[in-house]
A and B are shown apart, each in its own frame.
Chain A
Amino acid sequence: MDTRSAQAARAAQAGRSQIAETVNAGLGRRYRSERRFRAYGVLAIVLALSMLATLFVTIISKGYTAFWQNSLNFEVALPADVIDPQGTRDPKVLASANYLGLVRDALQAQFPEVDSRQERRALFAMLSDSAPYDLQDAVLDNPGAIGGTIKVRVSLDDDFDMLAKGHINADLPQDQRRLTDVQVAWFQSLEQRGMVEAHFNTALFTNGDSRQAESAGILGAVVGSLFVVAVTLALSFPIGVATAVYLEEFAPKNRFTDLIEVNINNLAAVPSIVFGLLGLAVFLQFFGLPRSAPLVGGLVLTLMTLPTIIIASRAALKSVPPSIREAALGLGASKLQMILHHVLPLAMPGMLTGTIIGMAQALGESAPLLMIGMVAFVVDIPNGPLDPATVLPVQIFLWADSPERAFVERTSAAIMVLLAFLVFMNAAAVWLRKRFERRW
């Protein structure tokens, strides 16, 4: 009996040492494959980061110059008989004076040798179309200067702005450039006289769209985007949350509910332009809502983001542990009380995260909005969701089409603004998730 157990113990010992040997033999291979796997992971991350870096570098390098603008800062003569013959200083009279002529005269005064009509046209091309309005604003602000001169800052035409920023290649032959040698020489002469000033391009942020690149701004598109996102949020969040709550808590488990679920999941994968077609057919043609309105854009994007929100909300609801539900029901809470008091507050962080991500997606959408007409050239800043507007991605799309060199940098600048918004929204989603994460 004793020897048998001793034998058994020895056999077990031998078996164990054999197993230990086998394990040791395999260890080297396992550690190597783990290191390889980790290396792949690091490689993938490095690759992704480098692509991201490339994207950012490309965009920023193209766009950063859009944030400042060159203007002509010079003295303009303000003869009283041209501006205010009666001397009434009446604003309406002041506003209707011929500022175009005045500013042109002032420019001509800098280059007295220019006299032929062709030459003069070439010279006056330096001024932006908004130059007279710059002068008008200066005079209205400072009527006391009438009769004398006023130092005013007027915008340069975009070609000259590009010249100042060095984007125009002076080495190319003249007929392949937008500006002639003479124009270049004039501009350089002005620069030497210290009349060219570079300043922050507030016009980019305060103006609506414009054919003149120097006056083009993103404000209209930003306001339009904000209205669209506001409408989308106001509609999709309550509907999405309510749908998710219904499907998760109340819907009976039958084929019909399964059908609904399958359809919602499929809708999340539908190309967004299809929603645009739907919006066109239903909202614009059937209901007759105004074209290009953020309201319609919001409705279309609501349809598009609802599946995302519903799916994220359902996942959040599912993650609430059944023990909490049972505890609430066991105390005598009705089903609705249990959901409102316990399940929804606990699921809210997940729902909000899903909503913010859905909104970020909606912010960057352009295809469905193209279909409902938000691709029009809209100059005015919209005042409400029913005014025609455009959105930032569409604005980028439109500017990308324009040939002027100035639009290239403005397109990149607009992309940077859009990316900044998206990064901010995603960061907010991450922060929200971290802040409200609970451990059960």
Chain B
Amino acid sequence: MKTSPSAQTSIEIPPTAGFPLVSQGEGAKIAARDVNVFYGDKQALRNIALDIKPNEVTAFIGPSGCGKSTFLRCLNRMNDIIDGCRVTGSINLDEEDIYHRRIDVVQLRARIGMVFQKPNPFPKSIYENVAYGPRIHGLARNKTDLDEIVQTSLERAGLLGEVKDRMDQPGTGLSGGQQQRLCIARAIAVNPEVILMDEPCSALDPIATAKIEELIDELRQNYTIVIVTHSMQQAARVSQRTAFFHLGNLVECNDTEQIFTNPQHKLTQGYITGRFG
């Protein structure tokens, strides 16, 4: 277990029945404490405490139904649109609780972007897809600015070369991998600080997956990335820190290398070696 040598706040979670190891809360981009999520009466997440470090890729792994996607969606309050979903505890973005009454969800989602499992470009032109976000948030003063934002975003997403002569064709006409990169370009067009990715490669072939993983590595320099994935190999390749969820609990969160060579918890070991799940 890695302990930060200059930790000032240490969250002690008494180990009960093999429970978690929490990283220390130094300079975290997103800090979650005591997060519980309920769907109606059913509890989906229990006492989650987790730090996401800036400019790093953090991966959430775990078996189906363990709550990793639920927790991801808490980070940009996408769970608000689900009826009957209740979130308690605090999730801080740069020291501000995003569930505070005064926080504007619309503004929050401009700071924390999201890419979904199945590529979902709008049925509009490629240009319009990328331009929509900046438009509604008023990020461009005129057409030239908007063009520039669109170009930069497409370039950063590694798509510009492939689409620059067909920007007014529908986004739905691209291949699966290209569509997903379009969705990533769309997300970064609003200049977020954090990008959440919910199994972004699960619908793609290996080459497209590799391209997206490369893209994630490049994006890391400018954005903080949180990725939910079913593939342990992908988490191992792509992330610097990994968090393992099981049945709504955060079992272990540590440097990726540690998790995959020497996990501290039996459950983690069992999951990643394929003994269950």
List the B residue with the shortest CB-CB distance to A253.
Answer: B83
Known: A253-B83, A327-B183, A346-B123. A332 touches B118 (CB 8 A): no
Complex interface bits, A319-352 against B, C-beta within 8 A gives 1, otherwise 0: 0010110111111111001000110001000000
How far, in whole Å, are A285 and B94 apart by their CA atoms in the complex?
A: 66
Is A92's CB within 8 Å of the partner chain B?
no
How far, in whole Å, are A341 and B128 apart by their CA atoms in the complex?
A: 12
- Verify A332–B110 contact, CB threshold 8 A: yes
Is B132's CB within 8 Å of the partner chain A?
yes
- Verify B133–A332 contact, CB threshold 8 A: yes
Count of A interface residues, CB-CB < 8 Å:
19
How far, in whole Å, are A329 and B132 apart by their CA atoms in the complex?
A: 12
- Verify B136–A333 contact, CB threshold 8 A: yes
Residues of A within 8 A of B106 (CB): 332-334
Contact partner of B136 (CB less than 8 A), chosen from A327, A330, A331, is A331
How far, in whole Å, are A321 and B110 apart by their CA atoms in the complex?
A: 22
- Verify B190–A329 contact, CB threshold 8 A: no
Is A30's CB within 8 Å of the partner chain B?
no
- Verify B120–A331 contact, CB threshold 8 A: no
- Verify B116–A330 contact, CB threshold 8 A: yes
Nearest chain A CB to B221 CB, angstrom units = 22
List the A residue with the shortest CB-CB distance to B123.
Answer: A438
- Verify A324–B109 contact, CB threshold 8 A: no
- Verify B122–A329 contact, CB threshold 8 A: no
- Verify B122–A324 contact, CB threshold 8 A: yes
Complex interface bits, B125-159 against A, C-beta within 8 A gives 1, otherwise 0: 00000001100110000000000000000000000
Nearest chain A CB to B8 CB, angstrom units = 33
Residues of B within 8 A of A332 (CB): 106-110, 133, 136-137, 190
Residues of A within 8 A of B118 (CB): 323
How far, in whole Å, are A324 and B122 apart by their CA atoms in the complex?
A: 6
Residues of A within 8 A of B76 (CB): 330
Nearest chain B CB to A421 CB, angstrom units = 33
Residues of B within 8 A of A337 (CB): 136
How far, in whole Å, are A332 and B106 apart by their CA atoms in the complex?
A: 5
Nearest chain A CB to B260 CB, angstrom units = 30
List the A residue with the shortest CB-CB distance to B134.
Answer: A331
How far, in whole Å, are A323 and B78 apart by their CA atoms in the complex?
A: 12
Nearest chain B CB to A237 CB, angstrom units = 23
How far, in whole Å, are A321 and B137 apart by their CA atoms in the complex?
A: 24
Nearest chain A CB to B31 CB, angstrom units = 22
Is B113's CB within 8 Å of the partner chain A?
yes
In A423-440, the 8 Å CB interface with B consists of 438, 440
- Verify A327–B116 contact, CB threshold 8 A: yes
Contact partner of B116 (CB less than 8 A), chosen from A323, A333, A346, is A323
Complex interface bits, B94-118 against A, C-beta within 8 A gives 1, otherwise 0: 0000000000001111100110101
How far, in whole Å, are A275 and B121 apart by their CA atoms in the complex?
A: 45
Complex interface bits, A44-61 against B, C-beta within 8 A gives 1, otherwise 0: 000000000000000000
- Verify B120–A326 contact, CB threshold 8 A: yes
Residues of A within 8 A of B190 (CB): 331-332
Residue from A327, A334, A342, A438 having most chain B Cβ neighbours under 10 A: A327
Known: A253-B83, A332-B136. A326 touches B116 (CB 8 A): yes
Residues of A within 8 A of B187 (CB): 330-331
Residues of B within 8 A of A324 (CB): 120, 122-123
- Verify B137–A327 contact, CB threshold 8 A: no
List the B residue with the shortest CB-CB distance to A331.
Answer: B133
How far, in whole Å, are A331 and B107 apart by their CA atoms in the complex?
A: 9
Nearest chain B CB to A408 CB, angstrom units = 53
Residues of A within 8 A of B122 (CB): 324, 327-328, 342
- Verify A323–B133 contact, CB threshold 8 A: no
List the B residue with the shortest CB-CB distance to A439.
Answer: B172
Nearest chain A CB to B95 CB, angstrom units = 21
Known: A323-B118, A337-B136, A341-B132. A330 touches B123 (CB 8 A): no
How far, in whole Å, are A440 and B136 apart by their CA atoms in the complex?
A: 24
How far, in whole Å, are A240 and B107 apart by their CA atoms in the complex?
A: 32
Nearest chain A CB to B108 CB, angstrom units = 8
Residue from A321, A327, A331, A438 having most chain B Cβ neighbours under 10 A: A331
Nearest chain A CB to B199 CB, angstrom units = 13
Contact partner of A330 (CB less than 8 A), chosen from B113, B137, B172, is B113
How far, in whole Å, are A332 and B139 apart by their CA atoms in the complex?
A: 12
List the A residue with the shortest CB-CB distance to B133.
Answer: A331
Residues of A within 8 A of B68 (CB): none
Chain B residues within 8 Å of A, Cβ to Cβ: 76, 78, 81, 83, 106-110, 113-114, 116, 118, 120-123, 132-133, 136-137, 172, 183, 186-187, 190
What are 11 A-B contacts defined by CB distance under 8 Å? Answer: A326-B78, A326-B116, A327-B116, A327-B120, A329-B81, A330-B78, A330-B187, A331-B186, A334-B106, A341-B136, A346-B123
Chain A residues within 8 Å of B, Cβ to Cβ: 253, 321, 323-324, 326-334, 337, 341-342, 346, 438, 440
Interface contacts beyond A326-B81, A330-B76, A332-B137: sample of 11 additional A-B pairs, CB < 8 Å, sorted by A:
A324-B122, A326-B116, A327-B120, A328-B132, A330-B113, A330-B114, A330-B116, A332-B133, A332-B190, A333-B136, A341-B132
What 8 pairs across the A-B complex have the smallest Cβ distances? A332-B109, A330-B114, A332-B110, A323-B120, A331-B133, A327-B120, A334-B106, A332-B106
